[in-house]
Amino acid sequence: MRILVVEDEPTLRAQLIEALRLATHTVEAAGDGETALHLGETEDFDAAILDLGLPVVDGLSVLRGWRAAGRGMPVMILTARGAWHEKVAGMDAGADDYLAKPFHMEELLARLRALLRRLGGQSSAEWQCGPIRLDTKQARALVDGQALTLTSHEFKILSLLMQRPGEVFSRTDLYEHIYPNDSERDSNTIEVFIGRLRRKLPPASIETVRGMGYRLIDTSAAS
């Protein structure tokens, strides 16, 4: 998934980025509210982790700006421990969850998984589409109980497709979920990853919708 991290403290920001990337997410980061507001309004993210104590523009203003612009991605706010008024204000401004500092990274990752499950209409950490099962907690994929060997990019693409089976995702959608915003992109890369996934998944699991993109099909429903 593509996650936006907004944290002005450099050490914590770097720790968040590293943990999220190890969890197979694609991460964009901002160290001030002005940059965060712009990124959240102009780029597509699956979720955001937002510190409230930001320079230039405060976190609550950033969140209100995103919601006013119609940006509906789940947002987890980070607050100072005991600052109950910040938590209330954040939830009123449109936050989906909050975590008080200092926190354990595992708790943050677990809460983020829960937010992403709700986004995709999933009720557990394991997502199922026919014979394909994705364990988002362990970052592994299985077909009929047999574990697949996937690269990080292949896993990210499969995760996005499995988040909303049957929905068409364009090549641009897929690009933005596996590459940082400033990465150089090869026009053939997505086709290569889709081709590799097709060889590892049951036949006809990934359907090409001409001129639009790709979608995941429940092959068990057709059998």
For residue 178, CA distances in Å to 24, 44, 142, 182 come to 9, 12, 20, 12
pLDDT value of position 91: 79
53 sits in which H/E element: none
pLDDT value of position 140: 84
Q: CA-CA-CA-CA torsion for 201, 123, 161, 95, nearest 10 degrees?
A: -150
Tokens of 156: 């990210």
pLDDT value of position 123: 45
Q: What is the pTM of this model?
A: 0.63
SS3 state of residue 113 = helix
pLDDT value of position 143: 93
What structural domains and CATH numbers belong to the chain? Answer: 2-119 (3.40.50.2300), 126-222 (1.10.10.10)
pLDDT value of position 153: 80
pLDDT value of position 97: 86
Tokens of 126: 């394991």
Rg (the chain; Cα; Å): 18
d(CA 145, CA 123): 20
pLDDT value of position 150: 86
pLDDT value of position 26: 87
Residue with tokens 């954040």: 90
Report yes or no: 173 and 164 within 8 Å, Cβ to Cβ. Answer: no
Question: For the packed helices 10-22 and 105-119, what is the interaxial angle rounded to 10 degrees?
Answer: 60
Report yes or no: 15 and 105 within 8 Å, Cβ to Cβ. Answer: yes
d(CA 75, CA 94): 8
Report yes or no: 200 and 150 within 8 Å, Cβ to Cβ. Answer: yes
192 sits in which H/E element: helix 189-200
- The stretches in the chain having pLDDT less than 70 are 81-84, 118-125, 137, 179-187, 221-223
